[in-house]
Structure 1
Amino acid sequence: SPVYFPFLFDHSFSSPITPFRLPSLFFLIHHVLFFLFVSYHFSLLFFTPFLLLLSITPLLFHFLLASFFLIIVIYLSFYLLLLLNTVICFSKLKMWDLNF
């Protein structure tokens, strides 16, 4: 029997990507890419261990820094958009106006 993924086939869900799933998705992608990056470079370490270790260390640091920065920027911009959307909805409904 096939595996059933409700978020793929059941359209009663609003969207498979929710604000809480998006950061975990990027975090998962980051870990998969990081694993591939590290496994590729550490397979080369058997040939020239010391030189490659010296050249890989700053690369790993920059890769980690850039990917975490990208995750944080996407996460914050998504929530800023969500907040802006909420403010626009409230301003249309005039829920922020206390002078009824």
Structure 2
Amino acid sequence: MFRRNRAAMIGLVVLCLIVLSAIFGPMLYPTGPFEMVWAPFSPPGEEGYLLGTDYLGRDLLAQILHGARVTLIIGLSAAVVTVVIGVTVGALAATTAASWKRR
């Protein structure tokens, strides 16, 4: 059913591209997110910067890739912490309920 839904498949491809660019982008893209060059406010495509530069001359694409990696790490960490807390509370609730049934 999921494969037949065109919008769902497009969303999955976009999500995979975002995750892959967050994981491998900083390794493949040579410019660091905090490196400054003397080219403030360069338009996209000029001087080798695909998305241009900001007011300090930092590459915007490098900043986006770095931010995506940080966001992915924070999101996965929050999900793992939530699962651990949920499983712990659920297990404690189940054992407490089971001990109350025996009485």
Bucket of the pairwise TM-score, normalised by the shorter protein: 0.3 to 0.5
TM-score normalised according to structure 2 size: 0.44
Give the TM-score, by structure 1 length.
Answer: 0.45
Bigger share in helix: 1
- Identify the structure with bigger relative contact order (alpha carbons < 8 Å, sequence gap 6+): 1
